[in-house]
Amino acid sequence: MPTSTDKDAIDRKRWSQGRVRELHAWTDKLYSVRVDAPVQPFKAGQFTKIGLFIDDQLVSRPYSYVNAPHEEPLEFYFVTVPDGPLTNRLVELAPGDPIEVMSKASGFLTLDEVPQAPQLLLLSTGTAIGPFLSILKTDQPWQRFERVALVHAVRLAEELSFAETIAGVRAAHPDKFDFVPVVSREDTDFAFRARIPALIEDGRLEARLGLTIAPQTTQVMLCGNPDMVKATSATLAARGLQRNRRREPGQISVENYW
């Protein structure tokens, strides 16, 4: 008897069969897989599931859209994790290979969930820069916020992917946008060497941006390593910011990657 994840039993209403257009290696661990697949409309900041048949069973995981809703192909940015069942197969993909994409997107790390404020801070670790790039490539942040800052914290400088995309955002919105790279495990002459919560606690992030983080002025979106999300939320709570929930609007919107 086939199970629900057998190749023959896959629900084609839920899963769209895509084709790999390109696998781009940023480093030996970081990749973008670019995919052609018909999917339902999604909002910038949302994620879907992508999957591969491994031993005839569908193995799928959630991934954020890096492309903006109006862009093609679909793009997913991932890191290979040691012994990770899916990521170590994704890196073997070649152009034309089949890949399953869940048609309907999920998630609430979207700007329509974020209350109005003058300033928007987007704080990410590792691959979690992806949903923020999708958001930054739409019109919404520029229509709604006076200042928008993207912080990308990585271990090594070579993991600061998407430099061209970020330069494009900066060129399009020079008076509103700042990018703050953080490289925690080596010295550089351009990035902070620290963790995001410490940069908020000691005031270095605000000094670099020339702004003050306060509940009246600032909305913060956090994405990535759950320990970073937790620690940064606690740091921001000490400044009076609170979790943003639909029933109880606040200033901190989060998504954990594991």
Ligand X SMILES: NC(=O)c1ccc[n+]([C@@H]2O[C@H](COP(=O)([O-])OP(=O)(O)OC[C@H]3O[C@@H](n4cnc5c(N)ncnc54)[C@H](OP(=O)(O)O)[C@@H]3O)[C@@H](O)[C@H]2O)c1
Ligand Y SMILES: Cc1cc2nc3c(=O)[nH]c(=O)nc-3n(C[C@H](O)[C@H](O)[C@H](O)COP(=O)(O)OP(=O)(O)OC[C@H]3O[C@@H](n4cnc5c(N)ncnc54)[C@H](O)[C@@H]3O)c2cc1C
- Residues lying near ligand X in the complex (CB under 6 A): 79, 81-82, 125-126, 153-155, 184-185, 195-197, 225, 227-228, 231
177-183 β-sheet, strand order = 177-183, 147-154, 119-125, 218-224, 252-256
How far, in whole angstroms, is CA 250 from its chain's centroid?
Answer: 21
Q: Which of 10, 23, 39, 86 binds ligand Y (CB under 6 A)?
A: 86
From first CA to last CA, the distance across the chain in angstroms is 32
Using the minimum distance from each CB to ligand Y, give the nearer residue, 103 or 218. Answer: 103
Residue 255 binds which entry of ligand Y, ligand X, none, CB below 5-8 Å type-dependent: ligand Y
Region binding ligand Y by CB under 6 A among candidate stretches 61-69, 150-158, 162-170, 210-218: 61-69
212 contacts 206 by C-beta, under 8 angstroms: yes
- Which two tokens mark 28? 């030996």
Q: Is residue 64 part of the contact set for ligand Y (CB under 6 A)?
A: yes
Q: Answer with the entry of ligand X, ligand Y, none that 245 interacts with (C-beta below 5 to 8 A by kind).
A: none
- Cβ-based nearer residue to ligand Y, 213 or 223: 223
**Of 128, 109, 107, 121, which is closest to residue 253 (Cα–Cα)?**
109
Residue from the set 15, 42, 77, 145 that interacts with ligand Y by CB under 6 A: 77
- Rounded CA separation 27/79 (Å): 9
Contact region for ligand Y (CB under 6 A) — 12-20, 73-81, 92-100, 159-167?
A: 73-81
Determine contact, residues 221/189, Cβ cutoff 8 Å: no
Q: Does 62 bind ligand Y (CB under 6 A)?
A: yes
Name the 3-class secondary structure at 208: helix
Least separation in angstroms between residue 77's CB and ligand X is: 10
Among 47, 132, 162, 179, binds ligand Y (CB under 6 A): 47
Q: Phi and psi for 115 in degrees, rounded to 5? A: -65, 165
DSSP 3-state percent helix, strand, coil across the chain (nearest 5): 25, 30, 45
Enumerate binding residues for ligand Y (CB under 6 A).
Answer: 47, 61-64, 76-79, 81, 84-87, 126-127, 130, 255, 257-258
